[in-house]
Amino acid sequence: MNDDTTHHIFFDDNIHNIEDDAIVAVRQRRTRKDRFRALSGEETLDLQGVHLVRVPTVEPILNDNWFYEQIQRCERNLAVKKEKSKPVSYTHLTLPTI
């Protein structure tokens, strides 16, 4: 996951929104030198809409742009996630005592 040049998105029709009931087994590594580790159900849920997309059977058939729209949504969600994880600098203010 240490590659900012590629946004990996996995599309599957059997991704569940229940952390202990999923057919998708996601593995992750922080750097190329690290070993892959299996993610928990909770960690997998956190990737939905960013790196995992459940494909409803009919939607892509009825909407020619469905996959393109999902990619755009994942890119927006990734940008929000990155923004939220940036450290925030702040100044500690001390109020005068009265």
Instruction: Give the C-alpha separation, 22 to 16, whole Å.
Output: 5
Residue 6 burial class via C-beta count within 10 angstroms: exposed 0-12, middle 13-18, buried 19 and up: exposed
| Residues 11-32 pLDDT 10s | 988 776 666 666 667 888 888 8
Among left, alpha and beta (phi > 0; psi -120 to 50; other), residue 49 is left
The answer, yes or no, to whether residue 8 has pLDDT greater than 60, is yes
Q: What percentage of the chain exceeds 70 in pLDDT?
A: 76
